[in-house]
Amino acid sequence: TVQQLDEICSRIDRLAEQIAHPGFSAHDEQVTSEVVQLIQCMGESIAWAYGQHQRPGLGEQFAQPFVDRRLRDRLKALLTERKPLRRELQSRIAAQVLQTIHILLQATPAESTLFCNLTAGWYLNEVVAVQLDFRENEDLLPLWMTVVKDIATMLDRDNMMLFFDPCGEKPFPIFTEAIKYYHHPVSQVRTHVGATSLEIFLKLRDEGFWTE
C-alpha cells in the first residue's frame, strides 16, 4: 500500500542519516543489508504500481512518498558522500541504488511526476558523474553503464536540456564518462560503451534533432 511505501521511504531516510553519521560503526553489516533490501523493495513497488495500467493513477500515488521525502537526494547521497563504512558495504549500497534508478527509469512514464523528479536539475548527470570504486564489486560498473545507456536511449530533442548542462564541470557525462571505458578489458562493458556511444551519435547527427 501507499502507507507501507511511505514507511519504507521514511525508514530509508533515517538509515541513510544514520550511515552518514561520523560515529556510525556498530551493526554496519546489518544496517547495510536493511538499506539494500528497503531500496530494492521501494523501487520494485513503484515500478509495479506504474505497471498497473488497469488502475490509472496508482503509480502516481506510490511515487508520492518518494518525491515528498526527497528520496532521490538520499539515493544520490548514498552514492556520493563519504561514509564510515567498509568499501565493500558502500559498494553493495551503490549497486542497489544504481539498480533501483535503472528500474525506475524503465518503469516510469515520461509524463509522470516521478520521471520529472528524477530528471530535474540535471540529477541524472550527477548520478552518472559520481566517482565510484568499481574494484570492490564486479557488478557495479555494468550497473552504472546500464543507467548510462538508459539515459542515452531516452535522449531526444525535447529532453536534451535535461542531460546537457553547458555550465557544468561535466556538461555531458553520459558520453564523456562512458567513453573512458571504451578499452575496458571486460567485453560486457565495452559492449555497453559502444551501444551508448552509437545511440548518442545517431541521435545527434539527425537533422531533426536540431530543428524546432
Q: pLDDT (tens digit, 9 = 90+) per residue, 24-53?
A: 555 788 888 999 999 999 999 999 999 999
- Averaged pLDDT for residues 194-211: 79
Average pLDDT score over the chain: 88
Per-residue pLDDT at 106 exceeds 90: yes
pLDDT bracket for residue 20 (50, 70, 90) = confident
113-121: long-range pairs with CB below 8 Å, 24+:
113/60, 113/63, 113/64, 113/67, 114/46, 114/50, 114/59, 114/60, 114/63, 114/66, 114/67, 117/63, 117/66, 117/67, 117/72, 118/72, 119/159, 119/162, 120/162
What is the reported pLDDT for 102?
A: 96
What is the reported pLDDT for 29?
A: 85
* Length of the chain counted residue by residue: 212
Q: Give me the percent of the chain exceeding a pLDDT of 90.
A: 56
What is the reported pLDDT for 26?
A: 55
Lookup: cell for 48: 509495479
Q: pLDDT (tens digit, 9 = 90+) per residue, 148-178?
A: 999 999 988 888 888 989 888 899 999 999 9
Across 74-88, 115-129, 185-199, which has the greatest mean pLDDT? 115-129
